[in-house]
């Protein structure tokens, strides 16, 4: 078999025009361009369904939501409805007396829909050489893109919830979660799940089909599924319908696994360096250049006085808006601050302007966190020393809502060669793309818990 490699630049294809549009005959291999074959309504429906089918498997975070259809000509605001529970009636009825009737109290959570989308542009020149059905491949890839995009929109809303549990509640903040150490790691455990279930039960959160639901990353599932009480789907002993991505059940919680589960990843502080060494006399904390202060104060500066190349990277990178953590040995606590500005002084000293001290961990708690690397400055977006932190979501019924994606929610759009009119006078460009209208909202905060843990592994940003 002879393989041919095509250099698309030889065809004069621009940066964003990277393929072609046409139908390939499975028997002859001949490509029929759209302007000759046309795209019938049946084919449009076929490709639209194909895109949606490829998008839906990625919508793990949507499958437990209260879904509201997108109304046509109904404005941009969607209402998710919830009913308040009726109070207890502890007074006895009077004989022959009809009691006063009750009213249902319906709460409304409003959310504004937004549009998202993307497309691929095709060149007509490749019609002469194409042997693959590029529309099928483009639709498949765009469906995956649409699914991951829409799933992430819901995920970010869910991960903004207010009920956060750090491991087994051993620490009080994300940047104190330990992973990868010889001991004392805060990994996903059965106790983490039991604590979340206890919280939901105390909030009277209703179960979904007899169990609470959980979205978990494979790295955290690895740390959890070795428990002897873990049940795989074939061990349920009933004929319940499985969720997309369901991997098992534990402590009355059904688990759905997804690589799209939220990971809080801390970028490196310097080029290829996650943490920076806090060497002797390498830093001081200032209220103003030249004025030493104790601890971090509002508008204070963090001065790095060594010009050894490593610290020089710290200011050269875009650090404004990021957070850093360092261990203050003077009072055995971790100091956490946000960088609000940077300055490179005339005497070649680097200053990072910090916001304020947010966390001061007591020395009693510190005993369980102490490691051999206390002299590191590490990024504050993840766990201890910049370790990846995973979000595992456990929730009950009606905890959140999303828009229904059928109909006006997700569309497959094909523009044939020459369809742009005078904007494409030589019929050189065609496009295939997707567009979706989407929003998500947390409806009842008390019905949802986010468990943050480290893991045996690290995955990076997602």
Residues with Cβ < 8 Å from 343, sequence gap 6 or more? Answer: 289, 301, 315, 350, 351, 353
Structural contact between residues 131 and 31, judged by C-beta atoms closer than 8 angstroms: yes
Q: pLDDT band for position 25 (50/70/90)?
A: very low
Which pLDDT band, with edges at 50, 70 and 90, does 3 fall under?
very low
DSSP-based three-state secondary structure for 79: strand
Residue 113: alpha-carbon gap to chain centroid: 18
The rounded distance, in Å, linking the Cα atoms of 105 and 445 is 18
The beta strands (E) that lie in 251-290 are given as 253-257, 263-264, 276-277, 283-288
Which pLDDT tens digit goes with each residue over 165-174?
A: 999 998 999 9
Q: Which fold has domain 186-260+388-400+446-453?
A: hypothetical protein PF0899 fold (3.30.2320)
Question: Do residues 286 and 293 touch, judged by C-beta distance below 8 A?
Answer: yes
pLDDT > 90? residue 201: yes
Tens of pLDDT, residues 41-81: 656 666 667 677 777 778 899 999 998 887 777 778 888 87
* pLDDT value of residue 417: 78
State residue 271's pLDDT score. 67
Q: Are β-strands 212-216 and 389-395 bridged in parallel, bridged antiparallel, or unpaired?
A: antiparallel
Residues 258-278, mean pLDDT to the nearest whole number: 83
- Provide the pLDDT for residue 43: 60
Kindly report, residue by residue over 329-383, the tens digit of the pLDDT.
666 777 777 777 766 655 555 566 665 443 333 332 333 333 334 567 788 999 9
Q: What are the residue ranges spanned by the domains of the chain?
A: 11-80+108-159+402-442, 186-260+388-400+446-453, 276-380
pTM (two decimals): 0.80
For the chain, the C-alpha Rg in angstroms (whole number) is 28
Please state the separation of Cα 8 from the chain's center in Å: 35
* Nearest residue to 278 (alpha-carbon basis) of 347, 400, 358, 373: 373
Q: How far apart are the first and last CA of the chain?
A: 39
């Amino acid at each position: 078999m002879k393989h041919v490699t095509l250099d698309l630049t030889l065809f004069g294809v621009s940066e964003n025009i990277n393929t072609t549009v046409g139908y390939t005959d499975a028997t002859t291999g001949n490509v029929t361009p759209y302007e000759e074959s046309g795209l019938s309504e049946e084919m449009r429906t076929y490709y639209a369904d194909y895109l949606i089918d490829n998008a839906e498997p990625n919508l793990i975070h949507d499958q437990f939501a209260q879904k509201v259809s997108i109304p046509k000509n109904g404005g941009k605001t969607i209402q998710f409805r919830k009913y308040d529970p009726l109070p207890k009636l502890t007074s006895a009825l009077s004989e022959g007396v009809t009691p006063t009737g009750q009213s249902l109290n319906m709460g409304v959570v409003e959310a504004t829909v937004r549009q998202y989308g993307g497309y691929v542009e095709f060149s007509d020149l490749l019609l002469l050489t194409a042997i693959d059905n590029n529309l099928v491949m483009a639709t498949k890839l765009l469906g995956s893109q649409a699914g991951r995009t829409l799933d992430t929109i819901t995920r970010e809303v869910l991960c903004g919830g207010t009920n956060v549990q750090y491991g087994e509640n051993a620490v009080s903040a994300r940047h104190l979660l330990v992973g990868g150490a010889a001991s004392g790691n805060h990994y996903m455990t059965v106790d983490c799940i039991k604590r979340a279930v206890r919280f939901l039960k105390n909030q009277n959160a209703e179960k979904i089909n007899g169990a609470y639901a959980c979205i978990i990353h494979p790295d955290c599932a690895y740390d959890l599924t070795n428990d002897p009480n873990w049940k795989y789907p074939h061990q349920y002993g009933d004929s319940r319908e499985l969720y997309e991505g369901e991997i098992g059940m534990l402590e009355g919680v059904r688990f759905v696994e997804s690589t799209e589960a939220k990971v809080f990843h801390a970028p490196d502080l310097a080029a290829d360096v996650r943490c920076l060494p806090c060497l002797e006399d390498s830093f001081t904390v200032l209220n103003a250049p030249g004025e030493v202060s104790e601890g971090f104060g509002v508008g204070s500066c963090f001065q790095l006085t060594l010009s050894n190349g490593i610290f020089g990277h710290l200011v050269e990178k875009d650090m404004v808006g990021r957070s850093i953590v360092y261990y203050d040995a003077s009072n055995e606590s971790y100091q956490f601050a946000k960088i609000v500005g940077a300055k490179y002084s005339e005497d070649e000293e680097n200053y990072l302007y910090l916001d304020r001290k947010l966390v001061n961990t007591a020395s009693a708690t510190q005993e369980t966190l102490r490691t051999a690397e206390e002299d590191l400055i590490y990024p504050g977006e993840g766990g201890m020393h910049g370790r990846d932190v995973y979000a595992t979501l456990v929730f009950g019924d009606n905890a959140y809502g999303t828009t229904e994606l059928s109909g006006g929610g997700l569309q497959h759009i094909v523009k044939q060669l020459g369809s742009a009119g005078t904007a494409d006078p030589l019929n050189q460009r065609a496009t295939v793309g997707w567009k979706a209208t989407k929003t998500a909202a947390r409806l009842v905060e008390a019905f949802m818990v986010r468990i943050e843990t480290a893991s045996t592994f690290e995955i990076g940003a997602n």
